[in-house]
Structure formats: C-alpha cells, structure tokens
Amino acid sequence: MKTFGALLQSGDWKGEKHVPIIHCPDKVKANEEFDLKISIGDAVGHPNTLEHYIGWFKVFFLPEGKKFPIELATFVFGAHGESEIFTKPVGQTTVKVPSTGTIYALSWCNIHGIWENTKELIVE
C-alpha cells in the first residue's frame, strides 16, 4: 500500500503544466505582510474543461525546525465550462510569518492527480 506522500507528483513548472507555481518574494521581513499567489500553467497551459480541469490548490508553511506545517490557504475552482462559465485556477492571499521556512503548494487535476511544489522563504 502506498502512503499519501508517494502519490504526489512533481516537476519543473516551466515544462510540466500541473505543477503549482508559488509567487512570493524570496525574502521578507518578520511579521510583515506579503502577497502570496499560486497559479498554474504559466509556461505550458493546462486545460480548463468539464472533462479535464484543476480543481484546487492547497498551500502550507513549515517554519524552519518545526515538524508540522501550517495550512495557509485552500483555493477551490468550481466552474469549468458549465454554461460557458470558467474559474481560472489562480489563488491569492496575504501572509505574514515570524521566521524562515518553506512554502508547500499542492494542485489537483481531476485526471492527472496531485502535484507539489516548494519554495524557501527567508525572513530577515
């Protein structure tokens, strides 16, 4: 039996259309707000149809030296062409953290599974 972690796919977002792209500064100040945006398909577009779509993103932050991640956000995309209405899979929020750590992003494609990406965030 596979663990859940073994189900996660990964790759370089510049060539793999399922990898969530984490947009935020490389360095921030402690407890100072910054914008965090998650997108997909910036380099290679992903379909957004009733048959094939991105359903959600989840984003976590793991402070350096800690064991358990903190969930930052969940973005759910519900319209994929019903009555010609579409939700584009982009999520944005504002975050502040007290210390350096790692941002983890997950994206779910209804056909191709769950994909991950990470980004180090330095707090000065």
Provide the minimum distance between the beta carbon of 32 and Fe ion in the complex, in angstroms, as a whole number: 36
The set of residues, in sequence order, having a beta carbon less than 8 Å from that of 22 and lying 6+ positions away, is 36, 38, 59, 103, 105, 117, 118, 119
Please say if 24 is a catalytic residue: no
Using CB atoms within 10 Å of the CB of residue 112, give its burial: 0 to 12 exposed, 13 to 18 middle, 19+ buried: middle
Binding to Fe ion, residues 53-112 (CB under 5 A): 109, 111-112
Q: Is 28 in the site for Fe ion (CB under 5 A)?
A: no
Provide the minimum distance between the beta carbon of 59 and Fe ion in the complex, in angstroms, as a whole number: 19
Partnered with residue 105 across adjacent β-strands are 59, 117
Measured from the CB atom, is 85 or 111 closer to Fe ion?
Answer: 111
For residue 82, which phi and psi values (nearest 5 degrees)?
-60, 125
Provide the minimum distance between the beta carbon of 89 and Fe ion in the complex, in angstroms, as a whole number: 11
Measured from the CB atom, is 45 or 65 closer to Fe ion?
Answer: 45
Please say if 80 is a catalytic residue: no
Compute how many residues bind Fe ion; rule: CB under 5 A.
Answer: 3
Cα–Cα distances in Å, from 38 out to 93, 106, 111? 9, 9, 20
Write out the catalytic residue numbers.
16-18, 46, 52, 109, 112
Residues in touch with Fe ion (CB under 5 A):
109, 111-112
